[in-house]
């Protein structure tokens, strides 16, 4: 492949076909505000069944506006507990149930949740080519207009803890690979898929929001977001140390209060922030 | 896991539930002749789109008798040509078309052909855990009563050229892994699959038939087999050196004659031979 | 390294120092019958906590005769159950407890049991260099006079199911590597270990006993062996499908009867058979 | 696992048990000045036998104040010489001797030095899962209150040369993995270890001190630090090009003068600087 | 190996021999302006046959001034096309031809172009040790005074898309490894090569030029650069979507105009910018 | 790729071009006795600098008869010594010197010795794809008429100690890969090499000669063989335990006597035995 910038510039200058897409690379601002998007296919890739919570408000908005939202999670989350009584199997099942319940609060149907089944905490040790190949398959199947992913970094590689780091880089690599007909070509010649280039990206982080350039007002779906949060009993609630599938009303209320208290706000409004990028996946770090 | 033999013996002796299956391990003879099997799900794993030709007669018989036959091929076969004009892409497409045409001759529907899309000639360099995981997924989905595979070896590891060697061992390892609920558990907790143990095996080789213990009379489907063979124009016919998608009648006839001339025979009848095994996949080499 | 045969021959012919060891390579018979060994350090490497059962009689004999017996197991066995209620953690703990109980019946102390902690069913996917390095460390620490291991094969590579196959080859490779001062040298310069060559080997298989050349009469320890077998409740007994840590008396009796019934016998006596090898680990397959 | 921030916030807000630890994440300042720490277990992970020199003053202080200091080095350093006469073996031995001599100057006992024995210059090519597993084992054994390590980076992944890069990331990944009961569980079920979370971290770099937030006045141990430096004859002294195990007095003096001249200073006092972090290892890059 | 800074300081302070090289590490400015370099061997490592275009002006200058310029490309570029008619083979051949034509415009002879033959888009999945070993071989053969490479990052790891990321880190790692006699020693004992330390580096990026500290005025070779650009028909020209080996005059002119329009400029002059580094490869990120 | 047998048969039956080569697959006997071969290019692949000694007589004969003999050795042999004074570097140099001296005795020129430089004892842990790629490169460069290699096994995989096992399988895999234009295609598009099929094979073993089908009378070169053997002082002579580059005359004589005494003989004549194979590399195990 060529290097992206000169190629993009020359191509847009000369031959036009890519210009609409490539010309605006410098601005990196969504043409239409996210709040007005409709009819798009949206795909989020996370490592764990709750990484998507960093974008729940935006996903709920998009779903409500007539977009198709898919959540792809790489691991089963079968390690993340401090409750000594839970087994890997139980935890995997609990977290699937919690995720489906949370997505339901956002209006996202259960069959839009795809879990690739890797073991939690081991993602960085899986064969990277095999994981990328799996993600490329889903990108080529779903053909999303927008990808939400852990931010791999602007100019420099962002630090994340291991699973998130793996998820960030593998997502970026998969987005790039998916667009080339001659990469993972078996999917094309044998499975009827076609190469596909994702044109827009919203990258999320759990802290350090310095690189954000797009904020979504989630006031209208605040309740959905808080309700969704309260479904992750094994993760944010009392179940973290002592899992109870049916927490009492008081506990749920406390979870919701805490979730509400910790929503990020801008000008008094609850928001979610992202690094927005549009263009070739080759230049995702721009 | 335990070691298979003592376990099997004790189990069958003591508690009976596994006895029907395990008691006959010594004989290794099919209870019902293959020629009379019906209502079974049959899965063949090969490396290339024509490895199944070693069992085409048997597959045709089984299909005709009301069994469901699936052919799973690991690679796209995108390297195997001596024609300097063909590209990887073209060859992959040609071989898919040839395989579907051959299966059609045998009565096997096109959607029973599954190609995992690996690059030809590179299978032994793929991450083995990832390939096994993929095969386990298909075993748990199809839940075959019988597995056809390259023979991994009786007592000793059979030598095959690289892709066949990989296919033989990875198939055996996948058959074993598929039966354990706690292996590749993500498939179970996230995809709704269930562990599954394949009970019967027919192992095929391309030469050295010394370990065969079961032969199938394919007289009744001889024509189908020969017709199927004539579909692999890029492999056995003039297309090997100079591919022509539409070989002339004379060439097709020559291909058929050659195929007929080289059918294996026993007592004058065309046959296919296998090493038959029944029992725990742990003892597949017995 | 050189190839073993010419080296051995020349060395023994010329310079004598290795002759006592190497001269007898052709015979491959223990100088002293195993039944009379004493004062030796004995190490067994298996994949699962019960692979050693294939040599329990011999180990019990050796322990009783004043040898030091160590059992090194590569995996925790945390997958091998058909009981849907057991978790990986529980199974790993159960199997450790069972193994310690079985070894206690044989007179082998609990601190002679070493488990390397790999996940069951995944051994073949672990980094082979890292596993060999770990085994080399224990060989250099224990400095065994005799190694018991899954037979990697005489002349040809023996087929075993995946974990046993890995255990067989990795044991053979570790035995070879341990003797070279310049391999895994960090163990020598940093941990105070010294290179070490194991001089004698007893290879075991679970079926196909054709290559055996040494049989041990275990009459004198028959009861110990049967008692030890009855400890593997999760594997050979009713616990295989429905684990109960405290099987009833009748069940234990049945397990013992079954174990007794299936002891291998020669001339009416209970025996265990092995492929015995003495010499350079380089020529283990001879 | 969940993502750290929301989890931390909710947990601390709701249920308190983690609050003492997690509440102060924003400030990232040690509650008690390092100069007053006592009774702690301190673990440093480095790639080479002298990486710890970046923290020698602080380690000497801590040791003197009644803390237990352990130095874990990943490689034997068996490559780092410009002296054409030295072999890998000799260099490994020299560097071990030098390290022990340096630690002795700081008051750290020899058996607190642990070298994992990897080959110098090859750490980035070792199987990462195996190295992490080894580090997790030592974290769970030593159960340090504080970890010193190469800084993996604040927000972004810090660049280090290859071995240091590997050491930085593998240390961070091991710190994270060590706290989860279900990761590397074999260590728990088979070796009697328990999961463990390191609560405090001091990250060091060899240049670019912009992210430092904690400086330790090492005036009181300046001599010890300089003396320790003079022990690394093969690295900083004349032995770099022409190793002499017993450098002359003048050479030693020159080494000490140079070491003194290059101590970092703040307000005229010799100091060492670190990026201090307290909290979940998941958010180490915060 | 030791950590670079203290070593460098002590070494330069004490023993002088390395001082000329190491003393100026802080300034990181070329002693002689690049525009006056002569008699040097220059090596550029890129991932694709056109990555070198980011330095074409500088390379043309250097070549004209009597330096020996070598371009080492890791992949064949056999994936980077949007033309559905091109095969991997054809694209690899086209890109080789284009690269040779572009280099010819710069005055660089064809036999100074070395392509390591890896598949495009898969570089990050190749065995890193094997790729580093190959690069080390060429560094030890060519013994360049200057290395041009993708910038691995100053202080932090720079984000690049996957192949560029791999090329950046592997180049940095190879530069470091090449200087150690005991690394990849087989090249030294068997191939007659010698260890070698590259003393100067010019790192290039495709965007984000914030870390640049050296700019080369390429006015005198502007035409050569533009002519060279016009050779990459498959990448920047109409061939990107519909390859024609012989584009019409108008198309070529348009390509040249576009190339000219997009030359970076400083004070009105066409320039190329780099991050210049001089010193130990260990501290390349400084 | 297709499976070899049916393909071969059909091809030879139908289209003739491959018939001269393929028709005789069943007999597996050299058309011309080895003793009369001339004008051929001969390539031997071994793991260590003396593996070729198993074929020294035949190589000497072939060289004398006007064939070009090349010896390719995978490792430097830098581990194989019992002399505690030797370093890896020294041993690698000694073994190179010994090998060149031995080859000189056989009349084989020094520049026909190619050592790939891998570390001894670690070959099985190297990336297999990278090693195969390197061997394929030399096969395509030398284009041998005959390949000598460790026997990978007839029908079953032969057991060898680890390095020999790796050498056997990697050689077989490389021979197969070399013939396919689309495998390791970078060598073809970038280095000017062409795909190549080796037509004849002589496989050697160090023990178990049961599968041999071709014996070469080496009477006429017996002295050369013995003289060559006496050059491996570090391996077969007194240097094994205490290396002396210049062994005394008596020691050399003893080495020669031992070598002579241990030549294999048939009908009183010194011989070397091989498993001869002719045909497609796909069916090497036939």
- Chain E residues within 8 A of F189 when measuring between CB atoms: 76, 78, 89, 92-93, 96, 117
Q: Using CA atoms, how far apart are residues C58 and C228, in angstroms rounded to an integer?
A: 13
Task: Output the six-digit token pair for B183.
Answer: 């292996």
Are D190 and C129 within 8 A, CB to CB?
no
Q: Which of F78, F84, F85, F89 to mutate to probe the D interface, most D CBs <10 Å? A: F89
Name chain E contacts of A2, Cβ cutoff 8 Å.
Answer: 48, 50, 77, 80, 232, 235-236
CA distances from B140 to A134, B185, B196, B244, E190 (A): 18, 11, 6, 39, 51
d(CA D217, CA F116): 53
F38 touches chain D (CB under 8 A): no
By the 8 A CB rule, do C265 and C274 touch? no
Chain E residues with CB under 8 Å of B87 CB are 87-90
Quote the DSSP letter at residue E51. G
B162 touches chain E (CB under 8 A): no
- Tell me what percent of the residues of chain E surpass a pLDDT of 70: 91
Residue B222: count of CB within 10 angstroms of its CB: 17
N- to C-terminal Cα distance for chain B?
A: 18
For residues A117-136, average pLDDT:
98
Q: In 3-state terms, what secondary structure has residue A81?
A: coil
Chain-centroid distance of CA A217 in Å reads: 18
- Looking at chain F, the whole-number percentage of residues with pLDDT higher than 70 is 91
E88 vs B: CB within 8 A: yes
> Nearest CA of chain A to the CA of E190: how many Å?
33
Would the pLDDT of C129 be above 60? yes
DSSP H helices, E121-211, are 128-142, 162-178, 186-191
Contact, B121 vs B166, CB < 8 A? Answer: no
* Structure letter (DSSP) for residue A84: T
Interface check F176 vs B, CB under 8 A: yes
**Inter-chain touch F186–E76, beta carbons under 8 Å:** yes
**C-alpha gyration radius of chain A:** 19
The gap between the terminal CA atoms of chain D, to the nearest Å, is 18
- Predicted confidence (pLDDT) per residue in E36-85, tens digit: 999 999 999 999 999 999 999 999 999 999 999 999 999 999 999 999 99
State how far the Cα of F146 lies from the Cα of E36, in Å rounded to an integer.
55
CA dist., res. F68 & res. C248, Å (int): 76
Alpha-carbon distance of E50 to D269, in angstroms, equals 52
The rounded distance, in Å, linking the Cα atoms of A101 and A110 is 9
| Distance of residue A19 Cα from the nearest chain D Cα, in angstroms | 32
Residue with structure tokens 């558990």?
A: B185
Searching chain F, which residue's CA lies closest to the CA of residue D84? Answer: F89
| pLDDT interval class at C2 (50, 70, 90) | low
Over residues A77-95, mean pLDDT: 97
Task: Give E-chain residues touching F92 at CB under 8 angstroms.
Answer: 185-186, 189-190
Q: Is C219 on the interface with A (CB under 8 A)?
A: no
CA of E33 vs chain D CAs: smallest distance (Å): 26
A 125-154: CB under 8 A from E: 128-129, 132, 152-154
C184 at D interface, C-beta within 8 A:
yes
Q: What does the pLDDT read at residue E5?
A: 41
Q: Is A13 on the interface with E (CB under 8 A)?
A: yes
Q: CB B261 to CB F6 under 8 A?
A: no
Are C262 and B154 an interchain contact pair (Cβ–Cβ within 8 Å)?
no
- Retrieve residue E116's tokens: 């390591």
**Interaxial angle between packed helices A249-261 and D4-15, expressed in degrees from 0 to 180 and rounded to the nearest 10:** 130
Question: How sure is the predictor about F31, in pLDDT bands with cuts at 50, 70 and 90?
Answer: confident
Q: Which residues of C fall within a CB distance of 8 Å from B281?
A: 161
| Token couple for E274 | 């780099």
Counting Cβ atoms within 10 Å, is residue C111 exposed (0-12), middle (13-18) or buried (19+)? Answer: exposed
| Calpha distance B271→B267 (Å, rounded) | 9
Closest-CA residue of chain C to D118: C186
Please give the Cα distance from A173 to A75 (Å, whole number).
18
- Interhelix angle A162-178/E162-178, nearest 10 degrees: 120
Q: Is the pLDDT of residue C9 over 50?
A: no
Strand partners, A277: A201
pLDDT for the residue D215: 97
Q: Answer whether B238 sits within 8 Å of F14, measured CB to CB.
A: yes
| Pairing label, strands E146-150, B214-217 | unpaired
> Which chain F residues are Cβ-neighbours of B81 within 8 angstroms?
182
Asked if A189's CB is within 8 angstroms of B93's CB, the reply is: yes
Q: Which two tokens stand for residue F192?
A: 């000017």
Highest mean pLDDT among C108-117, C236-245, E231-240: C108-117
Report yes or no: A242 at the D interface, CB cutoff 8 Å: no
Which residue does chain A place closest to B191, by CA atoms? A115
Report residue B122 CA to chain centroid gap.
19
User: CB neighbours (10 Å) of residue C124?
Assistant: 22
User: Looking at the complex, does the CB of residue B79 fall below 8 Å from at least one CB of chain F?
Assistant: yes
- To the nearest whole Å, the CA of C85 is away from the closest chain A CA by 10
Question: What is the three-class DSSP state of F264?
Answer: coil
DSSP bridge partners of E42: E69, E146
Helix F222-229 to helix F88-106 angle (10° resolution) is 170
Residue E112: helix, strand or coil by DSSP?
helix
Would you call F117 an interface residue with chain E, using a CB distance cutoff of 8 Å? yes
| pLDDT value at residue E26 | 52
Q: A76 to chain B: which residues are within 8 Å by CB?
A: 185-186, 189-190
Smallest CA-to-CA distance from F119 within F101, F95, F103 is with F95
Half-sphere exposure of E205 (CA within 13 A, CB side): 25
Alpha carbon distance B281, C133 (integer Å): 30
Nearest CA in chain D to F86: D87
Chain B residues within an 8 Å CB radius of F132: 125
Percentages (nearest 5) of helix, strand, coil residues in chain D: 45, 15, 40
Could you tell me the two tokens for D205? 């770099």
Q: Are D259 and D270 in contact (CB under 8 A)?
A: no
In a 3-state reduction of DSSP, which class is residue C175? helix
C235: nearest CB among B7, B283, B286: B7
Type and span of the H or E element at A72: strand A68-75
How far is F116 from F102, CA to CA, in rounded Å? 18
Cα separation, B151 vs B138, whole angstroms:
19
Is D21 in CB contact (< 8 Å) with chain A? no
Q: How many CB pairs under 8 A join E and F?
A: 72
Q: Do F286 and B240 touch (CB under 8 A)?
A: no
* F88/D90 touch (CB, cutoff 8 Å), yes or no: no
**Closest chain A C-alpha to C79 CA, distance in angstroms:** 12
**If you ran DSSP here, which 8-state letter would residue B157 be given?**
P
3-class DSSP state of B170:
helix
Q: Is the pLDDT of residue F163 over 50?
A: yes
Measuring CA to CA, how many Å separate B180 from each of B258, C82, C83, D221?
45, 8, 10, 59
Q: What is the pLDDT confidence band of residue B2, given thresholds at 50, 70 and 90? A: low
Q: Does B285 touch chain C (CB under 8 A)?
A: yes
F48 touches chain E (CB under 8 A): no
How many angstroms from the chain centroid is the CA of residue C273? 13
Q: Minimum mean pLDDT among B50-54, D30-34, E228-232, F142-146: which range?
A: D30-34
pLDDT digits 0-9 by tens, A176-231 = 999 999 999 999 999 999 999 999 999 999 999 999 999 999 999 999 999 999 99
Determine the 3-state secondary structure of A69 from DSSP: strand
Q: How far apart are CA C275 and CA C55, in angstroms?
A: 12
Q: Does E234 touch chain F (CB under 8 A)?
A: no
Mapped to the 3 state alphabet, what secondary structure does chain E carry?
A: CCCHHHHHHHHHHHHCCCHHHHHHHHCCCCCCCHHHCCCCEEEEEECCCCHHHHHHHHHHHHHHCCCEEEEEEEECCCCCCCCCCCCHHHHHHHHHHHHHHHHHHHCCCHHHEEEEEECCCCHHHCCHHHHHHHHHHHHHHHCCCEEEEECCCCCECECCCHHHHHHHHHHHHHHHHHCCCCCCCHHHHHHCCCCCCCCEEEEECCCCCCCCCEEEECHHHHHHHHHHHCCCHHHHCHHHCCCCCCCCHHHHHHHHHHHHHCCCEECCEEEEEEEEEECCHHHCCC
What is the distance, to the nearest Å, from the Cα of residue B89 to the centroid of all Cα atoms in its chain?
Answer: 24
Asked if residue F148 lies in contact with residue F55, where contact means CB atoms within 8 angstroms, the answer is yes
Tens of pLDDT along chain D (286 residues)?
554 444 444 433 333 333 333 333 455 788 899 999 999 999 999 999 999 999 999 999 999 999 999 999 999 999 999 999 999 999 999 999 999 999 999 999 999 999 999 999 999 999 999 999 999 999 999 999 999 999 999 999 999 999 999 999 999 999 999 999 999 999 999 999 999 999 999 999 999 999 999 999 999 999 999 999 999 999 988 899 999 999 999 999 999 999 999 999 999 999 999 999 999 999 999 8
Query: Is chain E in touch with chain A: ≥3 Cβ pairs within 8 A?
Result: yes
CA F57 to chain centre: 12
**Directed axis angle between helix D88-106 and helix D222-229, to 10°?**
170
In which residue are the tokens 């007839």 written? F154
Q: ipTM for the complex?
A: 0.91
Tell me how far the alpha carbon of residue F100 is from its chain's centroid: 15
pLDDT tens digits, residue range F233-281? 999 888 999 999 999 999 999 999 999 999 999 999 999 999 999 999 9
Can you say whether residue A104 is alpha, beta or left, with left for phi > 0 and alpha for psi between -120 and 50 degrees?
Answer: alpha
Owner of token pair 């899309």: B117
* Identity of the residue in B127, B184, B187 whose CB atom sits nearest the CB atom of A127: B127
Six token digits for residue E96: 């080789």
Q: How far is D38 from chain C (nearest CA, A)?
A: 30
- Minimum Cα–Cα distance from F181: chain E residue: E89
Alpha helices in A144-248, H assignment, sequence order: 162-178, 186-191, 222-229, 233-236
CA distances from C201 to A44, C3, C47, C144 (A): 56, 20, 17, 10
- Name the nearest CA neighbour of A133 among A95, A178, A91: A178
pLDDT band at A1 (very low <50, low <70, confident <90, very high): low
């Amino acid at each position: 492949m060529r290097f992206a910038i000169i190629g993009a510039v020359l191509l847009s200058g000369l031959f036009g076909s890519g210009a609409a897409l490539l010309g605006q690379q410098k601005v990196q601002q969504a043409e239409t505000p996210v709040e007005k998007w409709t009819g798009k296919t949206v795909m989020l890739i996370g490592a764990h069944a709750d990484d998507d919570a960093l974008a729940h408000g935006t996903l709920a908005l998009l779903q409500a506006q007539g977009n198709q939202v898919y959540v792809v999670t790489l691991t089963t989350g079968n390690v993340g507990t401090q409750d000594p009584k839970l087994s890997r199997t139980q935890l995997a099942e609990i977290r699937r149930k919690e995720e489906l319940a949370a997505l339901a609060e956002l209006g996202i149907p259960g069959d839009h949740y795809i879990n690739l089944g890797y073991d939690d905490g081991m993602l960085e040790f899986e064969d990277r080519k095999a994981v990328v190949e799996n993600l490329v398959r889903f990108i080529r199947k779903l053909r999303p207009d927008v990808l939400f992913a852990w931010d791999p970094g602007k100019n420099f590689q962002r630090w994340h803890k291991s699973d998130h780091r793996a998820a960030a880089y593998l997502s970026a690599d998969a987005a790039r690979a998916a667009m080339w007909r001659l990469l993972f070509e078996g999917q094309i010649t044998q499975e009827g898929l076609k190469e596909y280039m994702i044109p827009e990206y919203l990258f999320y982080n759990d802290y350090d929001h310095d690189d954000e350039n797009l904020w979504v007002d989630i006031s209208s779906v605040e309740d959905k977001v808080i309700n969704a949060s309260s479904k992750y009993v094994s993760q944010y609630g009392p179940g973290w140390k002592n899992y109870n599938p049916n927490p009492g009303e008081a506990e749920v209320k406390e979870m919701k209060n805490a979730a509400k208290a910790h929503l990020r706000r801008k000008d008094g409004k609850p928001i979610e922030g992202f690094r927005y990028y549009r263009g070739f996946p080759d230049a995702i770090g721009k």
